[in-house]
Amino acid sequence: MIEQLDALLAQLDALQERALRELEAINSSAELEDWDVRYLGRHRGELKNFSTLIPKLGKAERPVIGQKINAVKERLESALEARRQELRDRELREALERERLDVTLPGRAVPAGHMHPISRTILEVARIFTRMGFQVVQGPEVETDYYNFQALNIPADHPARDMQDTFWVVPGQILLRTQTSPMQIRVMQATRPPIRVIVPGKVFRHEAIDASHEAMFHQIEGLLVDEQCTMANLKGSLARFAREMFGEDRRVRFRGSYFPFTEPSAEVDIDCILCKGSGCRLCKYTGWLEVLGSGMVHPRVLREVGYDPRKYRGYAFGMGVERIAMLKYAIGEIRLFSGNDLRFLRQF
Amino acid sequence: MRVPLSWLKEYVEITQSPEELAHTLTMAGLEVEALDYVGADWGDRVITAQITHLEKVPGSDHLSYTRINTGSGEIGVICGAPNIKEGDKVPLALPGARLGDLTIGVARKMGYVSEGMLCSPRELGLGGDHSGIFILDPETPLGVKLADLLSDVVLEFAIKAHRGDLSSVIGIAREVAALTHKPLRLPEPRFREQGQPAAELVKVTVEDTELCPRYSARVIGGVNIGPSPGWMARRLLMAGMRPINLIVDITNYVMLEVGQPLHAFDYDLVREQHIIVRRARDGEEITTLDGVQRRLRGDMLLITDPQGPTAIAGVMGSAVSEVNEGTTRILLESANFKPVSIRRTAVALGLRTESSSRFEKGLDPELTVFGANRAAQLMAELAGGQVHPGIVDVYPRPVEQRTILFSPSEVEWLTGLKVTSRQVHDALSALEFKVEEVSAAADAAGGEQLLRVAVPTFRGDIEEGADLVEEVLRMIGYDQLPAIVPEGPLPESQSDHWFEREYEVREILIGLGLHEILTYAMTSRQRMLNLLAEVNARTAQVLLQKPADDGQAGWITAGTEASASSGNGVAADSKEPFEARSLPAVTITNPLSNELECMRLTLLSGLMETLQENSKRNRAGLRLFEIGRRYLPRGAGELPEERRCVGIALCGPAAISWVPELARPADFYDLKGVVEALLERLHIKRYRFTPVQHPIFHPGRSAVLEVERSGPDGGERFTPVGFLGEVHPLVQQRYDLPHRTYLCELDLETLYAAVPDRLSYAPISRHQELTRDLAVIVDQQVPARAVQEAIERHGGELLRTVALFDVYTGAPIPPGKKSLTYTLLYQAQDRTLTDAEANTLQEGIVAALREEFGAVLRS
């Protein structure tokens, strides 16, 4: 019996060794399943065949063989599991490898549009002033002579009309607005102080078109009226605007000027964004760039809308959007804005 | 206004450099636009010289050969100028000199060697005169660097419209004196009067004293008409005027110097020696000195004698009594005219002169006598004239000096700048205002010190306190203003939100891959009519259409004739030939060109033209939009209706791409997808697209978009917002576009009327959803929208969503039919639906589709 026992144990060892060797050579899950059935199958598996021998063994041998069978079974099962995992890993690896992409190919384009630089500039200016409590309003682009000129202290036959050559729809009565200032009147008529508005929009001048003149361009008007506003506030607002728009270290300079609807009037310069004031071609070697016109609302204009100039004070300013954009983006040619060349527009 | 520094220095001491002076003046509101350094380029190669010999060049009609004494030798120079003679002293540019763009060299011409160039004023940079060589004073030394004698700096001013007083060298000098605290030195005209009194020699009648508040005249006899002395000619040239003859030059010189325009008549040619200032008769004619015959209007002022007009007052004289070579006696006019009248006349005649531009800014009536005396003095000194005693001076209502009661605290009130009464006093006094302190008790201003300020008569622009504040600020300096961000109360909301809305649409469309363009609001009728495949009175109407509150009136839909008649002014007859000018539009009476003769009625022509421009250089397609206004004419004398719109254009592939789907040219559904995405982003849920016949578009590929909004009666109705479609092939061809092109124009105001005022959250159902697919076969002609609406109608509330996910034609679907496949999602808000419920609903839908469209379920 001992010999028989030893022989059985040796066979089990041999079985284990053979099974493991075969397992090593297996490369596909199908073969793996065959191997599983062949050695570990519940009905015809080779190990099962040994189990069927147990009842024929003596009482003393049975547990020995039983334990041995279990040990072999566990060994094979864990080897199978390990091998299975290895194969799975490898197959996944290979599958992933097959799916390798050329990540340097351009992406599937989601077309991206661009905002026109004028719209972009207006938005930027509007944001700066809305942070200071201003509201944005718009007005008619075809205007009456009254709003565009007369109410702004520019009567008919006044030489100040030369400053703004006009496109007429009905001569003397209806025109393409030459400035956004008529909205000063419309806003003051429509409401009462306190007033803080900015007015962006198209304006029109009867001018020959060249590299720095357009017959249609854009302005942004500003108007603040209350009972305490002074020219120092105008300077404070515009200094803040200049810093936010053109950089934290920008300085502003006020100098005397003339607009029929402001008194006192001031031209506003910023120190040159290119040379920082030392003088260059952009600033014509003055160190300063003219950016807008401004002043305190003229008492005549206040009286025109029924405001008492001894009670209410206000400031107004107007800037050319193209001018601001040209300075901000270093554009040397105003006609680019209405040219709508995509090679230009895509840069904004 | 050009002011030579050397001239300015005659009236005020200047210690600053020209650049510093320019800065001082600019800061005070007298903007110096440029400094012109006359003679800066002359160097030592431009010298004084004399013509010693002159001969005509044989074979040339204008060239002369001259021998020139350079002071240290003699050279030969060829010259083409007509005004030189032997003995003249002239500026000579030697080889190597550079004048502007010109470099002088030795030249060989017609057998002569020319070793330099004689210079005209323009070549020297002394003004614009190029009619001849600049002849120097006879006393000029020879061989001297011209720069040592004549170089100067000219300040160029832009004189503002309210300061007529600054249009003179003395006016500028007065500001310089005030700003630099120096005394002003005015010339004091002194001369001997002799002979018969002027009042016996000339009679002046001013018929219209409103247009001519003052007319002063002097008579000067025995004048010699010759050329002006070199110093005067030079000043005139540098100031931008051309020397003519001594008398005319003196009047111009005095105008430049003191700002008073003068006119010199030949006394003996003034008929009956009687000057009559009157309005022109309508249609009266005069030939002005420029040789142009001009028809006058009744509101224009004339200087006449009893036999007819001799000058247009303040604008230009005529040949009738012009000073000429034989003139010996001068009738000198120094008058004041009403600015508005002069301006109106000058504008109406298209004749702007040095004189008119001064008068229209307003001049001081007190200046006439000073101007006349200064000219008389110069005529006596330079032309040997005898000044007859007295001035004939018609001045019925002398100008009153204006006084303003001014509180120094107004400066701080308006500017935030603290100033003392003393500072105000000094600033105004420096500008020749007379300032007087008024006792505080005399006024109710709370015991505050008040000033009575007398405004000089030459400062007609100063009317009230704010004007004085500006004067004080100019003197103290704008740079003294503090900068304080405004505090103060914030206003109530008064925005109409259109700014934000336009930017919302802008951002959405940019997010959808469209580029924003900005085109001219001005266009031409023809440019807009180019959009139409066929132009006639009926098709042209689409350019004027607008959404109306009463539904579809005025809007072309589905090609119905009924909707084509409307009160928009275009005769709705398609047989009549159509002329572009009969298209109603806001017309510009003075357009820059025929291409910009009216305001646009549509954004689409600008979009098409931009496509055309860009398609020449773009291989990828174009996706553009513009947000702007259409200008629809209303009644005569009324402002047009400005409608906010968005226009969209697609043409060609979205991108140059290796991905076939992206490289595919845009089609109708790309455009519709853009529009639907816009609607989705604006939360507009109720809308529909309906086929439409539209003259811009392919007849089978265009639609009108309608949104549902509440009407005036409170009921809901669909209102047209705009249209979209594939551009008609004839139109595409007209614009040379390489791809089929898609256009859309939407009225933003109508669109936003359909945007919900507020969004409210609908709870998400926790109950299970059931999905059912539905594939039906219907006739090709059945619109997908009709099927979809039928499904929605019969699915009722429990049918949550319907989505079309397949459209198919071809075998095995029978010809003339199409298969539409939908996925339907059923869900209840309050319970779990059973399969049976969903099936019943589904069967109901199928039955309804069979009923309505003869639909067959696809197996």
Residue B556 has a pLDDT of 53
Alpha helices, H only, chain A: 2-25, 29-35, 46-53, 61-98, 117-130, 145-148, 182-190, 231-246, 299-304, 321-329, 336-339, 342-345
ipTM tops 0.90: no
Residue B170 has a pLDDT of 97
Confidence category of residue A1, pLDDT binned at 50, 70, 90: low
Tokens matching residue B578? 């159509």
Tokens matching residue B615? 């398609």
Within 8 A of A235 by CB-CB distance, chain B residues are 481-484
Residue B493 has a pLDDT of 86
Residue-wise pLDDT tens digits, B461-489: 999 999 999 999 999 999 999 999 999 89
Q: Mutating which of B33, B592, B626 best tests the A interface, going by the most A Cβ atoms within 10 A?
A: B592
A107: Cα within 13 Å, side-chain hemisphere: 4
Residues A142, B498: C-beta atoms closer than 8 Å:
no
Q: Which residues in chain A (40-69) have CB-CB distances under 8 A to chain B?
A: none
Q: How far is the alpha carbon of A86 from chain B, nearest alpha carbon, in Å? A: 38
CA distance B279 to B288: 16
Residues A296, B637: C-beta atoms closer than 8 Å:
no
Residues B479, A230: C-beta atoms closer than 8 Å:
no
Q: Does B639 touch chain A (CB under 8 A)?
A: yes
Within 8 A of B521 by CB-CB distance, chain A residues are 141, 202, 204, 216
Amino acid at B459: R
CA-wise closest residue to A138 among B633, B503, B172? B503
Residue A22 has a pLDDT of 92
Residues B469, A229: C-beta atoms closer than 8 Å:
no
CA-wise closest residue to B645 among B673, B603, B610, B681? B603
CA-wise closest residue to B295 among B271, B270, B278, B312? B312
Residues B513, A257: C-beta atoms closer than 8 Å:
no
Within 8 A of A145 by CB-CB distance, chain B residues are none
Residues B639, A258: C-beta atoms closer than 8 Å:
no
Residue B662 has a pLDDT of 85
Q: Does B467 touch chain A (CB under 8 A)?
A: yes
Task: Give helix A61-98 / helix A46-53 axis angle, nearest 10°.
Answer: 170
Q: Does B493 touch chain A (CB under 8 A)?
A: yes
Q: How far is the alpha carbon of B72 from chain A, nearest alpha carbon, in Å? A: 41
Find the closest chain B residue to A209 by CA distance. Answer: B592
Within 8 A of A137 by CB-CB distance, chain B residues are 494-496, 499
Residues A169, B588: C-beta atoms closer than 8 Å:
yes
Residues A137, B343: C-beta atoms closer than 8 Å:
no
Residue B711 has a pLDDT of 65
Domain ranges of chain B: 2-38+156-180, 46-150, 198-394, 403-479, 499-753, 770-857
Within 8 A of A109 by CB-CB distance, chain B residues are 654-655, 657, 659, 662
Contact B67, B119 (CB under 8 A): no
Q: Identify the residue with better confidence: A51 or B702.
A: B702
Residue pointed to by tokens 């409608």: B643
Q: How far is the alpha carbon of A287 from chain B, nearest alpha carbon, in Å? A: 12
Residue-wise pLDDT tens digits, A322-336: 999 999 999 989 999
Residue B541 has a pLDDT of 87
Residue of B464, B488, B519 lying closest to A340 (CB–CB): B519
Q: Which residues in chain B (681-740) have CB-CB distances under 8 A to chain A?
A: none
The CATH fold assigned to A117-345 is BirA Bifunctional Protein; domain 2 (3.30.930)
Residues of chain B with pLDDT under 50: 549-555, 557-572
Contact B637, A168 (CB under 8 A): no
In the predicted structure, residue A160 carries a pLDDT above the cut 70: yes
Residue of A168, A254, A298 lying closest to B588 (CB–CB): A168
Q: Does A79 touch chain B (CB under 8 A)?
A: no
Torsion of CA A10, A13, A19, A22, to 10 degrees: -90
Find the closest chain A residue to B345 by CA distance. Answer: A157
What superfamily does domain B770-857 belong to in CATH? Ferrodoxin-fold anticodon-binding domain (3.30.70.380)
Within 8 A of A222 by CB-CB distance, chain B residues are none
CA distance B692 to B688: 12
How far separated are the first and last CA of chain A, in Å rounded? 96
Q: Report the 10 Å Cβ neighbour count for B343.
A: 24
Residue B160 has a pLDDT of 87
The CATH fold assigned to B403-479 is Phenylalanyl-tRNA Synthetase; Chain B, domain 1 (3.30.56)
Find the closest chain A residue to B505 by CA distance. Answer: A115
Residue of B27, B491, B617 lying closest to A255 (CB–CB): B27
Residue-wise pLDDT tens digits, B641-690: 999 999 999 999 988 888 888 889 999 999 999 999 999 999 999 999 99
Q: Identify the residue with better confidence: A5 or A175.
A: A175
Q: Which residues in chain B (93-122) have CB-CB distances under 8 A to chain A?
A: none
Q: Does A202 touch chain B (CB under 8 A)?
A: yes
Share of chain A above pLDDT 90, in %: 72
Q: Residues 6 or more apart from B757 whose CB is under 8 A from it?
A: none
CB pairs under 8 A between A and B: 273
In the predicted structure, residue A194 carries a pLDDT above the cut 70: yes
Average pLDDT, chain A: 92
In the predicted structure, residue A4 carries a pLDDT above the cut 90: no
CA distance B625 to B607: 7
Q: Does A146 touch chain B (CB under 8 A)?
A: no
- Return the CATH number of B46-150, one of 2.30.29.30, 1.20.120.80, 2.40.50.140, 2.102.10.10: 2.40.50.140
Q: Does B519 touch chain A (CB under 8 A)?
A: yes
Q: Under CATH, which number does the domain B198-394 receive?
A: 3.50.40.10
Share of chain A above pLDDT 70, in %: 99
Tokens matching residue B44? 């030592």
Residues A196, B490: C-beta atoms closer than 8 Å:
yes
CA distance A168 to B591: 8
Q: Under CATH, which number does the domain B499-753 receive?
A: 3.30.930.10
- Return the CATH number of B2-38+156-180, one of 3.30.56.10, 3.40.30.10, 3.40.50.10490, 3.30.2130.10: 3.30.56.10
Residues A162, B161: C-beta atoms closer than 8 Å:
yes
Residue B444 has a pLDDT of 53
Residue of A135, A231, A265 lying closest to B495 (CB–CB): A135
Q: Report the 10 Å Cβ neighbour count for B105.
A: 12
Q: Does A187 touch chain B (CB under 8 A)?
A: yes
Residues B516, A345: C-beta atoms closer than 8 Å:
yes
Residue B195 has a pLDDT of 94
Residues A254, B478: C-beta atoms closer than 8 Å:
yes
Q: Mutating which of A153, A191, A235 best tests the B interface, going by the most B Cβ atoms within 10 A?
A: A235
